[in-house]
Chain A
Amino acid sequence: MNVAEKLKILANAAKYDASCSSSGSARVGKDGFGSAAMAGICHSWSADGRCISLLKVLMSNSCVYDCAYCVNRASANPPRATFTPEELASLVVEFYRRNYIEGLFLSSGVCRSPDYTMELMIKTLELLRNDYRFYGYIHLKVIPGASPELISRAGLLADRLSVNIELPSRESLKLLAPQKERAGLVRPMRNIKALKLQNADEKKHFKSAPTFAPAGQTTQMIVGATGESDLDILRLSKGLYSSFDMKRVYFSAYLPVSTSPLLPGREKPIELRREHRLYQADWLMRFYKFDAEEILDRAGSSNLDPALDPKCAWALRHPEFFPVEVNTADYEMLLRVPGVGVKSALRIVRARRLASLGADDLRKMGVVMKRAQYFLTARGKYAGAVAPDSPFLREMLSERRDMAQLSLFGDASAPALPSGITLSDSTALAMCELAAPVEW
C-alpha cells in the first residue's frame, strides 16, 4: 500500500477527533527548523468549516477494542492501514516545509497492545525531533493503558498530550465501550498532571531541562450518543478542568457511524446546536468567570436553551443584578453583561479612567448594544425599550432567525454553526465571535 492510500484511510479515520489546536507552546530551536506560535496558527479550513492546523492522522486504524460509537472498532470492516514511523515523519516534514501545517496531531487505534502502539508513535516523534531537528507543534493522543514510562517519554517530545474521556458518564462508557473503564481513562490524565508538576520542579533546579508537554493536556467527549443532560456535562468538564489542569475540554456532537442497537439511529439529527451551546457555556467558565452551577442552576432546566445563548439566559434569570452602570461596575460584573465581551470589558475599564462613557462611546468599545442596552446604563441613562425584568425580553433576545434554520438540520447544506472545533487561542477569539455573535 502506498503513502497516498494510507493517508486517505488514516485521515478519514482521524477526522472525528475534535481538537486541532496548535496553541500553548512557543517552542524554538537554534538548529534544525520549525517553531510553535503561542497563539497557534490555523492553516486551512475544510469543507465542514473546521480548522486544519495540524496534520491529523492515526498511526494505525487497526484496533483491538470494540467501542460501539467508533468507526475503527474491531467488529467494523473499514480498510485498515498503518504508517511506518519513517513514512509519517517524512510526510510531516514535507507538509510543514510548504507551510501547509503547524505540525502533527497523532492518534491511533490500539494496534496489538497499548504499549506497542505508543512505542510506534514515540518512534515517529523521535525521528521528527532528533533526526529531522523539527521544532514544530506535536499533539499526541495517549493510548489508555500505556505504561507511565512511555507517557513520560512522550511528554518530553510532544507539545500537548490528550486522553479522551470518551463519554460523559461511567455508565455510558460501560454500555458502549465495555472494554474501557473510566478509571483506566483517568489514570493517564493523573499521570500527565503529576509528570508535569514534577517537571516544573526539575526546571527550577535545571533551567535547561526539557519541558514536559508545554501546552498541557486536553480531552474530548461525545455528546448526544447517551442520555446525560447539559448540566451533567458541564459539571464533568468543570471537574476535569480543576482536577487535571485541562487546557480544553472538547465536545463532539454524536454522528451515527454504526448501526449498534445501543446507539441513537440515523434518523436522529446531529446535535450541532447543542454542541455550540456547550462550547458557549465552556467559554463562560473559562473566560467569563462563570461557574457550571450558575450557567444551569438546579432550580431550572438541566439543559441549555437552544434559542438563547447561555449568558443571556443567565442574565434573564437574574434581573436583580441589572442594569449595571458601566462607569462604576467592576470588571467581573461587566463581563456578565450580555453584549460585552472580554475585549470590550477591558477597553471600558481602561477608557473610563479618562472620562465617563456614554452609549455612543460603548459602541466604539465594541459593545453590541443590540443586546447590552437592556442590561446597562451609561451615565445613568438606560437605553433599552423594556426593563431587564420585562417578560417580553426573552422573546426579544431569542435567536428566532437561527431557530428557523433548525428545521434544515437534516439537510446537508446545514446552517452556519461553528463546529466549535478550535483552534488556537487567536482563532478562539474568532470562534468566540461566532459562538456568541453578541460579544464584539
Chain B
Amino acid sequence: MLHIYDGTFDGVLCAVFDVFALRDEDAEILPADRYSGASLYYTREVNADPSHADRVGNMLERFRPGTLRRLYTAWLSHDEHVEEYILAAVRCAVAHKADPFAFRQYHAIFELDRLATLVGNEAHRMLQFVRFVKLRSRVYAADIRPEYDVLPLIGAHFHSRFRDVAFMIRDLTHLRAILSNPREWYIAPLPAENPPLDADGEYETLWKLYFDNIAIAERRNPKLQQHFVPQKYRSFVAEFRDGADARR
C-alpha cells in the first residue's frame, strides 16, 4: 500500500503507525509533494493524529534517549529513500526491542545513520560559520547557504545564546529564516529575492585583522584549513568571503 503523508516529521511517524496498525507488509511511504498522482499501489492518505506520532516516538525513546532526534536529523535530509529507511528502523526496533541504530550491519540502518551524520555535521558547521552583522535597527542578521534544511536543528542554540537581542538567520538555499526575539524563535518562509546584508564595518575589519595575525606563518597548511572550512561554505563566512589569501 502507498501511504501519502503531509510532509512533516510527525506525518511520517503517523504513517509508520498506520503501517503497523494495518499490518501492511508491503508498505511504501511518500510525502504528498513527491507523489506524482499515479501509482500501481493501492493509495491512501495518512491519518495525521499527533497522538500516533507520540506513541511511535515514545517507543523509540524508551530504548535509548536521543534516537528520535537522530531519526529526525536523518529525515531532514529529505533523501528520496529516507521514509523507507525510517520504516525499516522502526520495524527493526520493534523486532529486537532495542535502539535501531545499534544494528549498523543492516543496509537501511547504515544508510539512515549516514544521512543523520551528514545533516548533523552540517548543522554543527552552521553553529561554527554563522556570521552576524549588526543592522542599523540593532537587529543581528546572518545569511547561510547550507545543503540541507538544518534551521530546525540550530535555532534553539542561537536563541538561548543570544537571548537578549533580536536576530535573524536566513537560509538562502531553502528560502526560510530563523526569527528570534527574547521571548521566542520560529522559522518563517522567505521571498525568492533577498537583498544582500550590509558589511559590518569596524568589528568585521578587526576580526579579519585578528584572523590574519593568529596564524603561524612557518606552519602554513592550506590543505588542513580546507578540510575544516570547505570552499562551499566560504562565500558566507566573513573572514573567507573576500579571499583570505588576497589580504595577505
Contacts and interface: CB of A to CB of B under 8 A. Distances in A.
B105 A41 contact: no
A55 B210 contact: yes
Contacts of B238: 98, 100
A186 B171 CA distance: 50
Given A95-B207, A97-B140, A15 B223 contact: no
Interface string A175-216: 000000000000000000000000000000000000000000
B150 to A, nearest CB: 15
Contact of A416 (B102, B209, B223): B223
A51 interface: yes
A412 B217 CA distance: 8
Interface stretch (A29-37, A110-118, A225-233): A29-37
B160 A98 contact: no
B164 A33 contact: yes
Contacts of B209: 4, 7-8, 11
A15 B211 contact: no
- Interface SS of B by simple majority: helix
A352 to B, nearest CB: 9
B161 A33 contact: yes
Contacts of B218: 255, 270, 412
B215 A98 contact: no
A426 interface: yes
A51 B211 CA distance: 11
A326 interface: no
B210 A7 contact: yes
A56 B211 CA distance: 10
Interface in A400-440: 412-419, 426, 430, 434
A44 interface: yes
Interface SS of A by simple majority: loop
Contacts, number: 167
B242 interface: no
Nearest to A357: B105
Contacts of A42: 128, 228
Contact of B127 (A8, A34, A41, A419): A41
Nearest to B182: A33
Residue of A7, A47, A91 most packed against chain B (CB within 10 A): A47
Interface in A77-113: 91, 94-95, 97-100
Contacts of B213: 7-8, 11-12, 15
A436 to B, nearest CB: 15
Given A15-B214, A32-B164, A49 B224 contact: yes
B220 A7 contact: no
Interface stretch (B5-13, B51-59, B78-86, B131-139): B131-139
A90 to B, nearest CB: 10
B198 to A, nearest CB: 13
A98 B214 contact: no
B206 A47 contact: no
B221 interface: yes
Contact of B200 (A98, A353, A361): A98
B231 to A, nearest CB: 13
B203 A35 contact: no
Given A55-B210, A98-B140, A416-B223, A47 B162 contact: no
A361 B248 CA distance: 48
Nearest to B160: A35
5 contacts: A45-B228, A98-B132, A272-B219, A416-B221, A417-B224
Interface of B: 96, 98, 102-105, 110, 124, 127-134, 140, 142, 157-158, 160-165, 200, 203-207, 209-225, 227-229, 237-239, 244, 248
Given A3-B206, A42-B228, A46-B215, 9 more contacts: A7-B213, A11-B210, A47-B215, A98-B131, A98-B140, A99-B131, A99-B132, A347-B102, A430-B228
